[in-house]
Chains A and B, each alone.
Chain A
Amino acid sequence: MSFDMTVADATSPPKSMARLFGLGVFVLLVLFAVLVPMFWPLDIAKQDYSAILSSPSDAHPLGTDHLGRDMLARLASAVRLSLGLALVSVVTAAIPGVLLGILAAWKGGVVDKLLGLLTEMFLALPGLLLVLLIVAVFPGSFLALYGAVALVLWIEYFRMTRALSRTVLASPAVAATRLLGFGPLYVIRRHLLPELLPVLLTIAAFGAASAIMAIAALSFVSVGVKPPTAELGLMITELLPYFSEQPFVIAAPILVIFLIILSLMLIAGGRKP
């Protein structure tokens, strides 16, 4: 093989296309989660022992699980839970993260140092471990689950906002703008936000993905959401023993969680900053 790079002007597949595709899948998932309960109002906990692990039929378009519960209703409920959780924790994390990030970059000095140290210390513990411990303290509490995820996520917003704001605020462009007489609000509107927003979108999408994965992982190992709640990780763990009998049933939650994470990653674009 050659060790010289052959195509210097090679372009990666159009990023915006991937992002658009991700957005499309994501919208479909949201519609699925919102519309199914309106048109298919079956109880997700209602067991039907006459129809265990049944294949798709008119009565159960996506079949039933090992307790005869309707998979369509359960999947829609699970997607709603995951997306709802992601939305709440991402928003909860973003607000203090961004505001404190801008504050630290703007003020500098002691405020900046203290906040910086605090977050770096927090990073000493892997996020999932922190969530797991908090969930252990408050078992079965949704609020604790949301709170724990938000507590892990806000650090990313803070760090990126701080780093980016610092670069932007120290740039000659901001110095020039200030010299021309513009105030801090103008600097935020015309310099800071245009640089911050795309990065925040990326962090939000990654944050949502990792929140969903964390909850699913905890439920998968039976320390997260409790039955009979429909949750993707929990469904996979419950259905795993019945794979040989009815492979289709476990394939559904696996495909759905894959699509959720994929769409979020494509929306985020590229790699974690």
Chain B
Amino acid sequence: MTPLLKTDALEIRTAERQLVEPLSIELYPGRVLTIIGETGSGKSLFAQGVVGNLPAGLHAHGRVHFANGFTEEGREDGRKKLWGRELSVLPQEPWLSLDPTMRALPQVVESYTHVAGRTSSDARQQARTDLKRLGLEGAETRFPFQLSGGMAQRLAFAATHAGGAKVIIADEPTKGLDSARIGEVIALLQAGLAEGGALLIITHDIEVARQLGGDVMIMLKGKIIETGTADDVLNNPQHEYTRVLLGADPTRWSPRKRPRPQGESVVTVSELTAERGGKTLFENLSFDVRPGEIVGVTGPSGCGKSSLGDIILGLAKAKAGKVAHAAGARRVAFQKLYQDPVAAFPPTITLGRNLVDLVRLHRLDASRIEGLMTRLRLDSVLLDRLPGNVSGGELQRFSLLRVLLLDPVFIFADEPSSRLDLITQKEMIELLVEAADKNGTAVLLVSHDEALVDAVSDQRIHLGTDVPSSQPHLPQRTALAANV
């Protein structure tokens, strides 16, 4: 069988430096090749090298061959003619990839008329059929801003697929999606496969690679360190890094089985009901949080997970119900870790300045900082940086440092690791768990990642209706089996 697309020692580099080592891949009809790697590993650059849309200043060397006989040296750009026809790209951020001023249907129709060369009426009919098949019936005349993220993703798929290309390249197609959405995208990609397409998937999400099957490559610092079928590599990794990477996947974490901590509750929530824009998020929710306990909150996006934490902290208002803090606890002993740590710091002052301000305000013991920095693996050079110039993982650990200085009794961690790579995520969560264990701080951990929450929580709350359950009405509250 001939491959639909094949690279021959394709290398990505700047004028001075190699970014991705020469790599040869072959994409066959009905097969998937997934390249797994962390941020900065070079996996996206390789995909762009294959497509031929590298950012300015970067070059590809080597060859790219197509099934139709077209061969090109990587550095040329004749491949632009094949875009949409031989090679289609599923965009990473579908909302931003659709023309904001054009209705849904014409964005697909134009692929049929301008790329596939169909007549206008034929194209419209075909586009309607496509949208119907993808469950977008009734959305034909909507503008992208009127579509949900999942709908936009499907529309983008239809638009890029209409050109008739067999090779589909998708860079992080599931980025920022919750589990239900991820399933949708995978189904979409598998539909492409079933039609005899070939897939090149770039992802950091091991679960996505596992579900898609096919072949897998692990990339580290521009180099492929392990190759094989998804089953082999993901179940029986050979390289040390692959083992660490797979071990960092929350599904592989060893669950923290232990009895529920004892002690006076630091937070008691009784019959809490919350609304957003007239829509009920959850009602009559009751639970309590004990010192050192980790309470996991899961649910799809928009279910009110974060609102729950904000209500407990007094940052948002509940419609009904009560939140009681432990008697005698100071106001600043209730803290929050933000999903996007950069947005949680004053942007124009250094981290050190911020810390000094905090120490002065509360007359804290500044000598504790050094010990905490060591424990949180933070280098002191970070103190001279602005929050925008620090990596996500480091800044989130710094947020934890800032919070721990105040000896908190309760931390609301709002998706604290959702923007981090797997290994960095594991590190972060472990530090959070350590804080709970060592200092007896209670943690309300909100996450869309159920495996992660399962692995570390003492008590678990699930919001939303998406998961089949014995209690069909809102909210469901499920305590972990071990603690019931």
Taking Cβ atoms with an 8 Å cutoff, the residues of A that contact B are 7-9, 171-173, 175-177, 179-182, 186, 190-191, 194-195
Contact residues in B for A177 (Cβ distance below 8 Å): 346
Beyond known contacts A173-B346, A181-B331, A181-B361: 10 more, CB 8 A cutoff:
A9-B56, A171-B343, A172-B340, A173-B344, A179-B315, A179-B334, A180-B361, A190-B346, A191-B346, A194-B349
Q: How far is the CB of B84 from chain A (nearest CB, A)?
A: 15
Q: How far is the CB of A120 from chain B (nearest CB, A)?
A: 26
Q: How far is the CB of B445 from chain A (nearest CB, A)?
A: 17
Contact present for A173 and B343 (CB under 8 Å) = yes
Contact present for B361 and A176 (CB under 8 Å) = no
Contact residues in A for B56 (Cβ distance below 8 Å): 7-9
Q: How far is the CB of B289 from chain A (nearest CB, A)?
A: 17
Contact residues in A for B335 (Cβ distance below 8 Å): 179-180
Contact residues in B for A9 (Cβ distance below 8 Å): 55-57
Contact present for A176 and B336 (CB under 8 Å) = yes
C-alpha spacing A176/B346, complex, angstroms: 9
| Complex partner residue of A172 from B343, B348, B357, CB under 8 angstroms | B343
Contact residues in A for B331 (Cβ distance below 8 Å): 181
* Minimal Cβ-Cβ distance residue in B for A171: B343
Contact residues in A for B346 (Cβ distance below 8 Å): 173, 177, 190-191, 194
Contact present for B344 and A172 (CB under 8 Å) = yes
C-alpha spacing A172/B358, complex, angstroms: 17
Contact present for A186 and B347 (CB under 8 Å) = no
| Complex partner residue of A180 from B57, B347, B406, CB under 8 angstroms | B406
C-alpha spacing A176/B345, complex, angstroms: 7
Contact present for B340 and A181 (CB under 8 Å) = no
| B362, CB-defined interface residue at 8 Å | yes
Contact present for B315 and A175 (CB under 8 Å) = yes
Q: How far is the CB of B386 from chain A (nearest CB, A)?
A: 11
| B402, CB-defined interface residue at 8 Å | yes
* Minimal Cβ-Cβ distance residue in A for B412: A179
Contact present for B332 and A181 (CB under 8 Å) = yes
Contact present for A190 and B357 (CB under 8 Å) = yes
* Minimal Cβ-Cβ distance residue in B for A5: B56
* Minimal Cβ-Cβ distance residue in B for A8: B56
Is the contact region of chain A dominated by helix, strand, or loop, or is it mixed?
A: helix
Those of B336-394 within 8 Å (CB) of chain A = 336, 338, 340, 343-349, 354, 357-358, 361-362
Q: How far is the CB of A215 from chain B (nearest CB, A)?
A: 36
* Minimal Cβ-Cβ distance residue in A for B337: A176
Listed residue (A175, A176, A177) with the most chain B CB atoms within 10 angstroms of its CB:
A176
Q: How far is the CB of B359 from chain A (nearest CB, A)?
A: 11
C-alpha spacing A172/B338, complex, angstroms: 8
Q: How far is the CB of B357 from chain A (nearest CB, A)?
A: 7
- Evaluate whether A179 and B336 lie within 8 angstroms (CB atoms) in the complex, with A9-B56, A173-B344 already known: yes
Contact residues in A for B354 (Cβ distance below 8 Å): 190
C-alpha spacing A190/B386, complex, angstroms: 13
Contact present for B340 and A190 (CB under 8 Å) = no
| B313, CB-defined interface residue at 8 Å | yes
C-alpha spacing A216/B346, complex, angstroms: 43
Contact residues in B for A186 (Cβ distance below 8 Å): 357, 361
Q: How far is the CB of B190 from chain A (nearest CB, A)?
A: 33
C-alpha spacing A181/B359, complex, angstroms: 11
C-alpha spacing A8/B58, complex, angstroms: 12
C-alpha spacing A173/B347, complex, angstroms: 8
C-alpha spacing A190/B315, complex, angstroms: 21
* Minimal Cβ-Cβ distance residue in A for B342: A173
* Minimal Cβ-Cβ distance residue in B for A177: B346
C-alpha spacing A104/B338, complex, angstroms: 27
Contact present for B402 and A180 (CB under 8 Å) = yes
* Minimal Cβ-Cβ distance residue in A for B77: A4
Contact present for A181 and B362 (CB under 8 Å) = yes
Contact residues in B for A175 (Cβ distance below 8 Å): 315, 336
Contact present for A176 and B338 (CB under 8 Å) = yes
Contact residues in A for B345 (Cβ distance below 8 Å): 173, 176
C-alpha spacing A21/B1, complex, angstroms: 67
Q: How far is the CB of B299 from chain A (nearest CB, A)?
A: 21
C-alpha spacing A7/B349, complex, angstroms: 33
Those of B60-104 within 8 Å (CB) of chain A = none
